[in-house]
Amino acid sequence: MTTLETASAPATTTTPALACRGLRKRYGDVVAVQDVGFAIAPGQAYGLLGPNGAGKTTTISMLVGLLRPDSGTVLVGGTDLAADPTRAKAKIGYVPQEIALYPELTGRENLRFFGRLFGLPRRRLAARIDEVLDLIGLTDRADTKLGTYSGGMKRRINIGAALLHRPEVLILDEPTVGVDPQSRKAILDGVERLVGEGMALLYTSHYMEEIERVCERAAIIDHGRIIADGTRRELVSLVGTADKVELVLDGDVETAFAKLRAVEGVVEAARTGASSVRLIAEGGRYLLPALITAVEGSATVTATQVIEPDLEATFLHLTGSTLRD
């Protein structure tokens, strides 16, 4: 694991809204999560970035008390989840990866059901439901059956159901999967607003842009382990000053790829499709002519894109694979 000295680490005097240490979970032969630990301060947004099967959902299931870890501890606002689950769970707003709502109930009825489970008194719950509906922008559809909603609308209710009790920490497991751009924007705006109001956030995704936009700190998780964590800048600096270069090739891509890897300055190389490759290269934008020359004879470059360092580049750098394949 790459650990960084961080200037922006949360002050140790405040109790983290959510902290875990040494989490480990095994399914038969598969170790889904091992030695996962981090702390999120109140009002801080923390990202968990990892490809499919990395162990994000397994980690979250242990954080919200759905899965008993083989070892490790979870503290929610200082309360030990294993010792006092009811008290700890009351501080968490958990948004499952899949939509988990009753299709035959209306949006409002769904919210009311889950709100009651958190013990909100009737009157206050009714008021909170209105506020949450407003926040997720579904006031006008609140009284129609959930089964008739679009995917994006269901996603928004899915999140809303976790907000009614004003949790200290909101845990979102890939909240924007399969969502239209409009709903996605609404979700991200809403989440940013909540963080601005002081809610702690754990946000998992394999969408780099979302983590980069929403989270000030993030961990990169792969094969059940956190392989790096820190602020966005710290993580990106792990790749050095390298740029990401994407090329679309026409011709003998295999041979061209091998030639590209050998170009001086290319740090990492990965195939991203039948005819596309992605390179991490020192000063990539100045290297373009060299790259185009390198493939001559086997292929021609039909499109290029140069991206300055980002989390995706970091991920590629750390794991040698892309986040989405």
Partner 1 sequence: MLRALWTVSALELRTRLRDGTAIVIAVIVPVTLATLFGLALGGDDPPLKATVGFVDLDGGEFPASVRREVMAAKELKGSVTLRDLPSREQAGRELESGAIGSAIVFPAGFSESVGAGKGGDVAVLKTPESPLAGVVASAIVDRISAVVDARTLAVRAVLRAGVPGDQVKELVERNGAAGPAIGLADDPLAGGKIDLSVYYGSGMAALFAFFVVGASFRGLLTERKLGTLDRIRAAPVAAWVPVAGKAAVGFALAVAGALLNWGASVLIFGSTWGDPAAVTVVLVAHVLAAAAITMLVTSRVRTDAQADGAIMIVSFVAAFFGGSLVPVYNLPGPLQAVALLTPNGWTSKALTELAGSGAGLAAVALPVGVLCAIALTAGGLAVLGFRKGLLL
Using CB under 8 A, list all residues that contact partner 1: 64-66, 68, 85-87, 89-90, 92, 94, 96, 98-104, 113-114, 116-119, 161
- Residue 50 interface partner, choices ligand ATP, partner 1, Mg ion, none, CB cut-off 5-8 Å depending on type: ligand ATP
- Residue 32 interface partner, choices partner 1, ligand ATP, Mg ion, none, CB cut-off 5-8 Å depending on type: ligand ATP
Q: Which is nearer to ligand ATP, 159 or 242 (CB)?
A: 159
Looking at the DSSP bridge assignments, the partners of residue 75 are: 19, 80
Residue for token digits 């070892």? 71
- Residue 52 interface partner, choices ligand ATP, Mg ion, partner 1, none, CB cut-off 5-8 Å depending on type: ligand ATP
Q: Which is nearer to ligand ATP, 212 or 243 (CB)?
A: 212
Least CB distance to partner 1 at residue 89 (A): 4
Pick from 181, 178, 135: nearest CA to 155: 178
Least CB distance to partner 1 at residue 171 (A): 9
Looking at the DSSP bridge assignments, the partners of residue 304 are: 247
Q: Parallel, antiparallel, or unpaired for β 200-205 and 45-49?
A: parallel
- Residue 55 interface partner, choices partner 1, Mg ion, ligand ATP, none, CB cut-off 5-8 Å depending on type: ligand ATP
Least CB distance to ligand ATP at residue 180 (A): 20
Pick from 39, 74, 69, 32: nearest CA to 54: 32
User: Are the CB atoms for 96 and 162 separated by under 8 Å?
Assistant: no
- Kindly identify the residues of this chain, within the stretch 92-131, that bind Mg ion according to CB under 5 A: 97
Least CB distance to Mg ion at residue 50 (A): 9
Strands (E), 28-133: 30-40, 45-49, 71-76, 79-80, 92-95
Q: Which is nearer to partner 1, 72 or 309 (CB)?
A: 72
Least CB distance to ligand ATP at residue 210 (A): 13
User: Are the CB atoms for 215 and 232 separated by under 8 Å?
Assistant: yes
Pick from 284, 271, 270, 278: nearest CA to 240: 284
Q: Could you tell me the end-to-end alpha-carbon distance of the chain, in angstroms, rounded to an integer?
A: 23
- Residue 301 interface partner, choices ligand ATP, partner 1, Mg ion, none, CB cut-off 5-8 Å depending on type: none
Q: Which is nearer to Mg ion, 61 or 106 (CB)?
A: 61
The angle formed by the CA atoms of residues 43, 189 and 217, to the nearest 5 degrees, is 40
Query: What is the C-alpha to C-alpha distance for residues 174 and 139, in angstroms, rounded to an integer?
Result: 24
Least CB distance to ligand ATP at residue 225 (A): 11
Residue for token digits 């990492």? 268
User: Are the CB atoms for 37 and 221 separated by under 8 Å?
Assistant: no
From candidates 18, 44, 54, 57, binder to Mg ion by CB under 5 A: 57
In Å, what is the CA distance from 186 to each residue of 103, 137, 210? 22, 8, 13
Q: Which is nearer to Mg ion, 46 or 118 (CB)?
A: 46
> What is the size of the binding site for Mg ion (CB under 5 A)?
3
Residues that bind Mg ion (CB under 5 A): 56-57, 97
